[in-house]
Amino acid sequence: MSDGRHASSPFIGDDEIFVRMTLQQRLQHFLTIVTFVTLVVTGFPLIYPEWPIWSWIGLGERSFALRSLLHRIAGTGLIAASLWHVVYVMATEEGARFFREMLPKAIDIWQLVEAVGYQLGLTETLYRRGRLRGFLDRRPWWRFREPPAYGKYNWIEKFEYLAIVWGNIVMIVSGLCLWFFEAAFAIFPKPVMDIVKLVHGFEATLAFLAIVIWHMYCVHLNPEAFPMSRMWLDGKISGKLLRHHYPGWYREIEAERLEKRRLETALHWYDREKPPGWEGPRGVAGAGGEG
Amino acid sequence: MRARRAWLAAIAAAALAAWAAPAAAGPADEDCLACHSGGALDDAKLDVDAKILGASAHAGMSCTDCHADLAGADLPHGTTGPAACGSCHEEEARAVERSAHRQDDPDSPRCWSCHGGHDVRRVSAEDSRTAPLLQDRTCLGCHANPEIAGRHALPVRESAEDFEQSVHYRALLGGNPAAPSCTTCHGAHDNVSHKDPDSPIARPNVASTCGMCHAEIAQEFAESVHGKVLAEGNPDVPTCTGCHAEHAIRGPKDPRSPVHPSHIATTCSHCHENERLAREYGIASARLRTFVGSYHGAASRFGDSTVANCASCHGSHGIRPSSDPRSSIHPSNLARTCGTCHPQAGLNFATGKIHVRDLPEDNYWAWLVRRTYVSLIWAVIGGFVALIAVDLWWRFRTRRSRRGEA
């Protein structure tokens, strides 16, 4: 995507390994996968009972009660995963940082436009053919000559995160209403319960299609990652791929390290030269004692 | 009754024969058997086994009692006419002449076709061809014969196996003497086509025929919406056989029964999803579709027989329209009806429609939500597919141009 565009940094080795999905995040993700798949398999028979696949997997009179039980167990698992994530975001620094970085910003929308504009290459082609020269010379960013410089999380991931947060809320609330429908009926009249049931089914369909088509393509099935990215298993990414896919984040890490090196160099110099007024390193870890 | 009469007839005939023997000039049984036994005649069919005759209901009767036209005939005799059963069984013979089996056709069954000839048994005998357990095979000797059925357009739709798997035949096997066999419903000597308005199986009479045994149900049915419309002479309304089948009637717990919980929706739909009937009688549409779309419908489709089906809420024999205050689906009774399975069901169960079609007049907001979601799904997934297409196209293009550069 950005080969040769971003020079590699002297501070980041191409083969250096970075953790992009921490163990916590991978476990949450794994629990979500297991519960999601179970929920789809045990829930879809009620929305699409006419699919022949259900008889292939042996869903019949006896397994129907099991389907119902498994759906509730998996539903409880998804609620657990969601609560775990809420606690993770609210109570841990890692989680809070993750949430902050996942929040969509205006730049994400622009980067979506940039990504499509770059891949289509329409304006650049027009420019090369001598069209829209004045306009594009004044506003060169519309030429989309470069792919977007994504930060740690790009618009794809942020959209998916928002979608799963929203989807989980909808599915959990409507699912609980259907699970404890007699109690829900005490609060809501039948027309509302009809809508609750509709929403549960349609949101499930939307989520299923989004995962199968979009998430699978973006993460695993695109020609670059095919047949599978190992990210969800080990959470690791190499410095080279980082530079390639998340140049914004790459530059951030580089800047952090540069800043740290500057500080170290400065402290080193002060330590050696001991200019007037210098009282030695104060609480700067790893800075002193090298002279 | 008939058996006793046969006995009396036999005794009377024997006495008469003994008294008249010296006077009559006709052949004695021994004379008949001299030719008609032991293969003395070319045709084995003409052989009569004296033992079989002796074990029959007509034991003790003389040959010429039945083959009356040979009384006083010179031997050897020529071609004879049929046995004169009617000379003793007058009432039965008269009934047959009025029935679908009247003797004006070579295919029509003769007395001996059903009762046996020389081996005729009393109807009450277990090995009689007209014994309840064996009757179906006797009737189907002709009714399942493709040639005869074809010549007379007999409505043979079900085979002996169908009846033999039915709840009625099983009851017979189980020794229930009241269980019906063919003649219980169709009549015996007087049986007529179902097209005959007097037939016990003519549509208007089916319920009362079944009601001979199922009296309470017949009464309940007569008061139901189906029963009332049937009584008005409507040909489109179902009677007992419309839902339970005719010969292959199975109990509601038999998974093959059309009234098994998992099949009820399909059975009712034969009429209630029929466009012509819906148009003609203003039957509410999409009952099946809305049921199938419900949890009850989906669970039922997978064979869960505990879940509600049409009959669970609407009743079965005593179905009444929702406008009838005695109907189980009258708004004032809905909470109780739903409460059969959902004890916590409150009044909210009765708010709004149960069979919600995808129409704004059934539930406007549900209709709107459905439309919104469908549009949303198309838009979102369409967007994804477009983005994937652009990505693939870009990868394809750049790979080619890179290859070109190299």
Tens of pLDDT, residue by residue over A240-287, are 988 888 988 998 999 999 999 999 998 888 878 877 777 666 545 444
Residues of B whose CB is below 8 A from A183: 344
Q: Which of B168, B166, B153, B242 is nearest to B203 (CA)?
A: B242
Looking at the structure, tell me whether residues A126 and A89 fall in a common domain: no
Looking at the structure, tell me whether residues A140 and A199 fall in a common domain: no
Q: What is the pLDDT of residues A22-57, one digit of tens each?
A: 999 999 999 999 999 999 999 999 999 889 999 898
β-strand A17-19 against A236-238: which pairing, if any? Answer: antiparallel
Q: What pLDDT shows up at residue B220? A: 95
C-alpha distances (whole Å) from B156 to each of B32, B87, B107, B206, B247 are 41, 33, 16, 18, 10
When divided into structural domains, chain A yields a total of: 2
Q: Please report which confidence band the pLDDT of residue A154 belongs to, taking 50, 70 and 90 as the band edges.
A: very high
Which residues make beta-bridge pairs with A238? A17
Residues of A whose CB is below 8 A from B385: 213
Residues of B whose CB is below 8 A from A217: 384, 388, 391
Q: Which of A39, A29, A30 is nearest to A73 (CA)?
A: A39
Q: What pLDDT shows up at residue A115? A: 94
Residue B247 predicted with pLDDT over 80? yes
A-B Cβ pairs (cutoff 8 Å, strict):
114
User: Average pLDDT of B79-106?
Assistant: 89
Residue A259 falls within a domain, yes or no? Answer: no
Mutate to test the interface with A, among B394, B395, B402 (most CBs of A within 10 A): B394
Q: Collect all residues with Cβ–Cβ distance below 8 Å to B58 and sequence separation of at least 6.
A: B6, B10, B65, B66, B118, B120
Residues of A whose CB is below 8 A from B356: 191, 194
User: Average pLDDT of B86-106?
Assistant: 90
Q: Which of B301, B369, B393 sits opposite A199 (nearest CB)?
A: B369
The domain limits of chain B are 1-110
Looking at the structure, tell me whether residues A115 and A65 fall in a common domain: no
Residue A273 falls within a domain, yes or no? Answer: no
User: Residue A115 sits in which domain range?
Assistant: 103-151
Q: Which of A49, A120, A203 sits opposite B390 (nearest CB)?
A: A120
Q: Which of A49, A182, A206 sits opposite B301 (nearest CB)?
A: A49
Task: Please check whether residue B310 is in contact with residue B268, taking contact to mean a CB–CB distance below 8 angstroms.
Answer: yes
Residues on B contacting A at a C-beta cutoff of 8 Å: 292, 295, 297-299, 301-305, 342, 344-346, 348-354, 356, 363, 365-366, 369-370, 373-374, 376-377, 380-381, 384-385, 387-388, 390-395
Task: Please check whether residue B268 is in contact with residue B283, taking contact to mean a CB–CB distance below 8 angstroms.
Answer: no
* CATH number, domain containing residue A203: 1.20.950.20
Q: What pLDDT shows up at residue B405? A: 57
Beta carbons of A185 and B349 less than 8 Å apart: yes
* C-alpha–C-alpha distance, residues B208 and B218, integer Å: 7
Task: Please check whether residue B2 is in contact with residue B39, taking contact to mean a CB–CB distance below 8 angstroms.
Answer: no
Q: What pLDDT shows up at residue B24? A: 46
Task: Output the average pLDDT for chain A.
Answer: 90
Looking at the structure, tell me whether residues A178 and A230 fall in a common domain: yes
Residue A209 falls within a domain, yes or no? Answer: yes
Q: What pLDDT shows up at residue B7? A: 61
Beta carbons of B356 and A194 less than 8 Å apart: yes
Looking at the structure, tell me whether residues A160 and A43 fall in a common domain: yes
User: Average pLDDT of B144-172?
Assistant: 81
Q: Which of A61, A186, A195 sits opposite B348 (nearest CB)?
A: A186
Q: DSSP strand E in chain A: where?
A: 17-19, 236-238
Which three-class secondary structure state does DSSP give residue A18? Answer: strand
Residue B164: what are its φ and ψ, rounded to 5°? -70, -15
* C-alpha–C-alpha distance, residues B225 and B209, integer Å: 19
Looking at the structure, tell me whether residues A108 and A36 fall in a common domain: no
Q: What pLDDT shows up at residue A221? A: 92
Q: What pLDDT shows up at residue B127? A: 87
Q: What is the pLDDT of residues B179-190, one digit of tens each?
A: 999 999 999 999
Mutate to test the interface with A, among B295, B348, B351, B388 (most CBs of A within 10 A): B348
Task: Output the average pLDDT for chain B.
Answer: 86
C-alpha distances (whole Å) from B229 to each of B246, B265, B328 are 21, 21, 19
* C-alpha–C-alpha distance, residues B390 and B189, integer Å: 83
